[in-house]
Amino acid sequence: MTYIFPPAAQPAIPIVGTDQTFPVHRIYCIGRNYAAHAKEMDALNIQPSTDEPIFFSKPADAAVPEGGNIPFPTKTQNLQHEVELVVAVGQEGQNISAESVNSHILGYAVGCDLTRRDLQSAAKQAGSAWDTSKGFDHSAPLSPICLAEDIGHPVSGRIWLTVNGETRQEADLSEMLWPTGQIISVLSQFYVLKPGDLIFTGTPAGVSKIEAGDDIHCGIDPIGTLNFQMT
């Protein structure tokens, strides 16, 4: 059996300190995982003990390894940045307990969930899906992945983003409403998590509009930094 046309290239993210890459299988994301960001998005009174996270997805080929130049997307007048801790899954699992989550994690990266906010707002008002606002081309730039065996499993650390040198987002990973272990445990009840999956874990407050020509610089201690320019 042969393909009717050549298959698309496999999206892959470099791994720090090696010549290996991480083949991307799926990209999962969580919404409103920092209280201040939930407030700025008018999603108040979230109770992590009883409420479940909101999950959505991006296509694997939305990943942009190491940032660089990213074309400004069509059909939006309000593109916004969302810096996030990204988990790289290295071991398959379903119904994973919070206590065993770390054994399924290969490493961590810095990611930016680019969002067509105007399309998302319209979808929310209409009760429609968010696909066109979140899952568009080049919407998931990522830094190289740091292996957990080298940096451990961070539960705190500064997360930040600047636009043209101006700080727009700054918080600490410890401010997550649903910590990484809980996110993965709940997500694995809906999907069989596979090696190659990436999980964006939510963004802190300060999301704002970016334009063509803007330089975005973001990072998480102790994982690293990500730089890209909208073109």
Is the pLDDT score of 5 beyond 70? yes
Q: What is the pTM of this model?
A: 0.96
> Helix, strand or coil for residue 176?
strand
| pLDDT the model gives residue 48 | 63
Is the pLDDT score of 46 beyond 70? no
Q: Where are the domains of the chain?
A: 12-230
What are 226's strand-pairing partners? Answer: 218
pLDDT digits (tens, 9 = 90+) for 127-152: 999 899 999 999 999 999 999 999 99
- The residue behind tokens 């190289």 is 144
User: What is the C-alpha to C-alpha distance for residues 157 and 163, in angstroms, rounded to an integer?
Assistant: 20
DSSP symbols for 39-68? HHTT-----TTTSPPEEEEE-GGGEEET-E
> Helix, strand or coil for residue 148?
helix
Quote the percentage of the chain above a pLDDT of 70: 96
Residue predicted with more confidence, 119 or 51: 119
Residue (of 86, 127, 132) closest to 109 by Cα position: 86
From the options 3.60.70.12, 3.90.850.10, 3.10.450.50, 3.40.50.300, give the CATH code of 12-230: 3.90.850.10
pLDDT digits (tens, 9 = 90+) for 48-80: 656 788 999 999 999 999 999 999 999 999 999
Say if residues 119 and 132 touch (Cβ distance below 8 Å): yes
Is the pLDDT score of 44 beyond 70? no
**If you average pLDDT over residues 177-183, what whole number do you get?**
95
Is the pLDDT score of 41 beyond 80? no
Which residue type sits at 143?
S
CA atoms within 13 A on the CB side of 59: 11
What are 55's strand-pairing partners? Answer: 30
